[in-house]
Structure 1
Amino acid sequence: MPETLTITQVAAHLGLDPDTLRYYERHGVVPAPPRDHAGHRSYQPGDVHLLEVLMHLKDTGMPLAQIAQFTAWVAQDPDGVPERLALLQEHRTHVIDQITTWQHSLDVIDQKIRDYTQRLATHQSH
């Protein structure tokens, strides 16, 4: 990874549109990166890592308001972790519950696939 990245490069890396990244920045969901001498956003590897973490939180269903709170806590005290830890532990429980629900749903879907496959095989053999 280059030493610094543009918003276009970071957005592509994250699978986002640059306007989405700007929107998140304006609403405090992600921190504003430093700007270069021309006023363009200049992302460092640490900035990108934090954005990756935040996008994983989003992808696993954390509401944007909670992600913004997490971001605010990082900005207020980069070394202070109790609040962030509690938020992540709570979210982890939510993710595990979601995985359990999805696994059950997948089991039902797999059973229906087996049922329909068997029906087709039986129907075709007659």
Structure 2
Amino acid sequence: MKIAQAAKQVELSAATLRYYESIGLIPPVKRDESGIRDYDEDDVNWIQFIKCMRSAGLSIEALIEYTALFIEGADHTIEPRKNILINERKRLTEKQREIDETIKRLNRKIEDYEDILKNEAKLKNRLKAEYISE
């Protein structure tokens, strides 16, 4: 399939697909006799994988390294590929911990503001009641 069809299928622009190929995020795509990219199902599946991993927060650098090892394809690249994924998982787990901590802090701050607003309303009502009773 041509780049426009592949781009539509994976919901990325043709320019993004060209860029991904140029930086090594996706393996080189086969070309027809005119030099036009001819994407097959494996290419589309790889792009979907990369897109999924990027959405999950994996770094471009790690994915480029992973892709290079995948293209090399030898058995000796299995352990390094696995290690890339393990390292990215560690990085994302730490990031998730930081996000969880930030959410806890935000929740505490929101509760503080809610308490302030409740107390402010009570104070206004008490002052209003005192003013009316005078």
TM-score of the alignment, normalized to the shorter chain, above 0.5? yes
Q: 4, 10, 33: which is aligned to 1:8? A: 4
Q: Determine the structure 2 residue equivalent to 1:92.
A: 89
Q: Map residues 1-126 of structure 1 onto 2, 5 A cutoff.
A: 4=1, 6-36=2-32, 39-77=35-73, 80-125=77-122, 126=124
- Structure 1 SS opposite 2:108: helix
The letter for the 2-side match of 1:105 is T
CA distance in 2, matches of 1:83, 1:60: 20
Q: Which has the higher contact order (CA 8 A, sep 6+)?
A: 1
Q: Which runs of 5+ in 1 are unaligned?
A: none
Aligned residues: CA RMSD: 2.5
Identity of aligned residues (%): 25
Normalising by structure 2, we get a TM-score of 0.72
CA distance in 1, matches of 2:118, 2:74: 61
After TM superposition, give the deviation of residue 78 of structure 1 in Å.
6.7
After TM superposition, give the deviation of residue 22 of structure 1 in Å.
0.9
After TM superposition, give the deviation of residue 110 of structure 1 in Å.
1.6
Report the CA distance shift for 1:16/1:113 in structure 2 as closer, same or farther (over 3 A): farther
The letter for the 2-side match of 1:123 is E
Normalising by structure 1, we get a TM-score of 0.75
- Structure 2 SS opposite 1:66: helix
CA distance in 1, matches of 2:20, 2:86: 23
Q: Which runs of 5+ in 2 are unaligned?
A: 125-134
Is the 2:62–2:88 Cα contact (8 Å) retained in structure 1? no
Q: Determine the structure 1 residue equivalent to 2:132.
A: none
* 1:40-99, Cα deviation, whole Å (9 max, x unpaired): 333333322222222333344443232211111111117652211111111111111111
